[in-house]
Amino acid sequence: MKISNKTIKNFVLEKNKKIVFTPGPGSLLEENINGLGPFFGRGDSHYKKIESEVVKNLKKISGLKNIACFQGSGSLAIEIALQNFVKGKVLVVKTGYYSDRVNKILNFLKSNFKKIKQIDSITWEKIENVKNKYDWVCASPVETSIGLKIPIRKLNLLKKKCSANLMLDATGSIGLEEGHQYAEVATFSSCKGLFGLTGASFIAYKIKPKNKVKSFYMDINTHIKKKLTGPYHTIGSLYHVLKSYNKFKEAVKKNKFKFLKDNKKYLVYPLENQPLLCTYSKNKYFNKKQNIIIYESRKKIEGSVVSHLGETYLKKNAKGLIQKNLLKRNEK
């Protein structure tokens, strides 16, 4: 039995009565539903065409010529990338919770696999002061824990200054920010700026992975050669989502710009450091009703990080009106 577009539309409208101010997954999309179906990675020519088209689009979005797909979170892609690509002297740009996670993984690798020789870190405000040479610079250009953006062009200048390769945790920036083509390696997931369902992560890269990895699962070649089950349903969903990708991005922009306009005096960062995905406000926000989900940062902060994916399902009709559902501290 074929499900009508009207039925799917009504289903999505009903589900989006839960209002989310989270950085991904955001609102449920009709395209998320339309892409679901029975898929298999071997012997399924229909799925192979779908995956090929998704990979083609991800290459275009990232600006990098190779894509590896994984069934798992963005953190899985980060750890696999660090094990397979990064070695020698490493500089980590400190931005918050997620850059700290990269640092922890690197220290584990340094202790156990010896490919990492030295790990230094520097706060994002001081990257222009770096003088030493490194093999790799690792950074999170959008740090969702504090709603911060470091323009990737600045990270590219740092990379050149250090004579290094650049690895980006691009989970919060892919699809929404410019400049990923400057990285040698970029990791990201399916459910933030790509607007997909959870469950898939990716490594985009332009140099070959040269580290020898003894673990079957953590070896990137295991996934490239499809030796285990892939994120078939999430890829199927992305196939439909990426066809309307620019319309969803426009909805995010409308929400972001309305929030900036309405909350000028509460902004923590200047415009240069404002990511499209979210905004760090000095205000502490609360939900007016139980169907409203406020993002709880993994880092202890004074205000709130408000994310802007809650109206993506409205596409061109998005106006940022869901922001009226936010209750400020002094209104509680």
Using DSSP's 3-state secondary structure scheme, residue 203 falls into strand
Asked if 28 and 45 sit in the same domain, the reply is: no
Asked if 217 and 319 sit in the same domain, the reply is: no
Give me the pLDDT at residue 289, please. 83
Instruction: State the chain's mean pLDDT as an integer.
Output: 94
pTM for this model (two decimals): 0.94
Pairing state of beta strands 304-307 and 185-189? unpaired
Give how many domains the chain has, as a whole number: 2
Domain boundary among 219, 242, 265: 242
- 92: burial class by Cβ within 10 Å (0-12, 13-18, 19+)? buried
- CA of 12: how far to CAs of 111, 113, 135, 201, 266, in Å? 48, 47, 47, 24, 33
Asked if 225 and 201 sit in the same domain, the reply is: yes
Domain boundary among 194, 213, 242: 242
Q: CATH number for the domain including 186?
A: 3.40.640.10
Interval 156-208: pLDDT, tens: 999 999 999 999 999 999 999 999 999 999 999 999 999 999 999 999 999 99
Residue 174 CA to residue 191 CA, distance in Å, equals 10
Asked if 25 and 131 sit in the same domain, the reply is: no
Pair of tokens at residue 246: 């620019």
Asked if 91 and 167 sit in the same domain, the reply is: yes
Asked if 133 and 224 sit in the same domain, the reply is: yes
Asked if 194 and 52 sit in the same domain, the reply is: yes
Interval 216-234: pLDDT, tens: 999 999 999 999 999 999 9
Asked if 149 and 184 sit in the same domain, the reply is: yes
Interval 33-88: pLDDT, tens: 998 999 998 889 999 999 999 999 999 999 999 999 999 999 999 999 999 999 99
Domain boundary among 185, 212, 242: 242
Question: pLDDT tier at 330 (50, 70, 90 boundaries)?
Answer: low
Q: CATH number for the domain including 15?
A: 3.90.1150
From the CB of residue 107, how many other CB atoms can be counted at a distance below 10 Å? 13
Asked if 195 and 160 sit in the same domain, the reply is: yes
Residue type, 288: K
Give me the pLDDT at residue 113, please. 83
Asked if 252 and 236 sit in the same domain, the reply is: no
Query: Which residue range(s) make up the domain with 229?
Result: 36-242
What's 65's DSSP letter? S
Asked if 292 and 273 sit in the same domain, the reply is: yes
Residue 169: phi and psi, rounded to 5, are: -85, 95
Asked if 130 and 265 sit in the same domain, the reply is: no
